[in-house]
Structure 1
Amino acid sequence: MRKGFCSARSRAFYFSFFLPMALLKLVIEPDPILHKVSGNVVGVSDEKREFLDDMLETMYHYTGIGLAAVQVGVLERIIVVDVPPDKEWHSSPLNHVGYESSGGPYYLVNPEIIEFSRNLVSADEGCLSLPEQNYEIVRPDAVVVKYLNYNGEECLLKANGWLARCIQHEVDHLDGKLYVSHLSKLKYDLATKKAAKIKKRHSEV
């Protein structure tokens, strides 16, 4: 196990500049694996930590703010999230005392959302597995999530704003759901048809 880092962000900085990491291949819709439920992880081994590092590097490479393991073809309940605090769209309508709205990166193994805010907000979302598309999605603006961290320790995270939204988006992936599943059937069908056309176009290049 790699030790000696004072924070997750400093660890990610060190990995990005000094340790070799692999870029993982993104899974793009349509693909049946994106609609399968991911299984729980048993413990966080050194091998699993290397996979977490590769996931984070892949997410940064594609300028994402969240990535689920299934999006790189692995059916395990793992997500990585890093929501920049300096984005204009980051601020939440409500400032929940005691909740994290930024920070990270966060490595969440076996994440389980155990509490949802009753306050719902609508915001524009996109997805690395559905490129070139964005849709307004309504979600709770705060959550409490239980998970194992990079070191395999059980943690609780109270998140609001875009951090909460991103976590919900990625947990949906673990349950075999794309964010467009929150749309009407008509819009969902249009989004998936558009995704198929985009994937075909890129495959022909």
Structure 2
Amino acid sequence: GIWKNRLVATTTDRGETWSEKVFAANLPNNASKYWLQRTADGRYALALNPTNRNRYPLAVTTSEDCATFSGLAAIHGELPDQRFGGYLKNMGPQYVRGLEAGNPAEAGPDSNSAFWLTYSVNKEDIWVARVPVPVTTTVSGAIHDNFEANPLGPRPRRSLRRLARRRAPRRGPLRLCPHRPRLPRYPRGENLLQGFRPPKQRSPRN
């Protein structure tokens, strides 16, 4: 098993008991978490960000014994622009999670030929990636990277304008501080000092 901050441990009874956690050697650590699982071909796949600072790209490496990993392949190499700013808004694909181990063959035609990963991109969107099994670092055929050739799906039934119309109307002006009293409004040309009475001056005592 593998945990955050490159902590690892082993088990021999299918997770009932674990050995003492130790720090893995030569494993990048940027607090973005890892995902380790056994694939349908009997090997092990580790999805991670292979850097100590940045959380991109998202890559996968494989192993025969779940102890020594080799072969690094990119899963998500692009870095989209951030749309929103914020505190601790790390860029890149991160917080990866997967689902494949233990799936029966009758679960679907993909259970023995691929495993699926979900992860956050820029802490804004959730992406899904399909990784073929066995994991290879070379490609023999043509790569389909012309996404403009893909047919577009149908338009959503409800547009953003319709959703905006259904919102409740705002009542009154927007007040940043509800406890602050409102200042009186005077029309143009009105004397602001009208009705103003200066304080009485006290006569000096003899």
The two structures share one fold, judged by TM-score above 0.5: no
User: TM-score, normalization: structure 1?
Assistant: 0.25
The structure that has the greater radius of gyration is 2
Higher RCO (CA 8 Å, separation ≥ 6 residues): 1
Task: Say which structure is richer in helix.
Answer: 1
